[in-house]
Structures are given as C-alpha cells and as structure tokens.
Amino acid sequence: QSVLTQPPSASGTPGQRVTISCSGSSSNIGSNYVHWYQQLPGTAPKLLISRNNRRPSGVPDRFSGSKSGTSASLAISGLRSEDEADYYCATWDDSLSGWVFGGGTKLTVL
C-alpha cells in the first residue's frame, strides 16, 4: 500500500488528452513539491515534471503538472504511442522524514 495513491491504469487513443491523479496528505503533497517520473519498459525512471509543474529541458510541453491541496495531477495532451509507460508521482513526507512514491500508473495508448 503506497502512501501516495494513483490509479493503476489509464488509457487513451493517439491525440487524446489523459490525466493521471496522485492523492496524498497534509504531510506530503500538502506541504511539499510533487514530482513526476516516466518509466519506459525496461529502463530507469526519468524525471518528467519537477516542483509540481516544471518541465526539465527536453520534456515536450505536451506534459504538464498541477497541484491543489493534497492532490496532484499529470496531464498528457496529444497522446503518442511512445508515451506508453509507467508514471509515478513522488514527494517528501515530513512525518516519515523520507520520500514517498505513488504506486504507479500504467498508461496504455490504444
């Protein structure tokens, strides 16, 4: 059972917009930045969104993040087949004095 809750799966057709949610509490999302990682099959995770909504260099602007209260969301617009991957939210937890990850969402492009 992960501290951060994500839906286990999401799907969409090419060109569609998909959102992935991440729910936490006041000790984690509620008081710290949320970051998102993309993990393509068989590869290491890659930073996708930092500090709630910042895209690292090289990340397409089709990816965006937002946060409100104790929840956060990742949105992917103009869905492409290469977006098929696992997506994880993560943040620091003040109560645990450590990092917590969501359980991951497997995105399928139909």
Say whether residue 100 binds other proteins (CB under 8 A). Answer: yes
The distance of closest approach from Cβ of residue 101 to other proteins in the complex, given in angstroms and rounded to an integer, is: 4
Say how many residues touch other proteins, by CB under 8 A.
27
Q: Counting contacts by CB under 8 A, is residue 63 touching other proteins?
A: no
Q: Rounded CA gap, 89 and 48, in Å?
A: 10
User: Is residue 32 a contact residue for other proteins (CB under 8 A)?
Assistant: yes
Interface segment toward other proteins; rule CB under 8 A; list 9-17, 60-68, 75-83, 94-102: 94-102
| CA–CA gap between residue 83 and residue 19 (Å, rounded) | 13
Structure tokens at 106: 């497997």
> CA 86: distance to chain centroid?
9
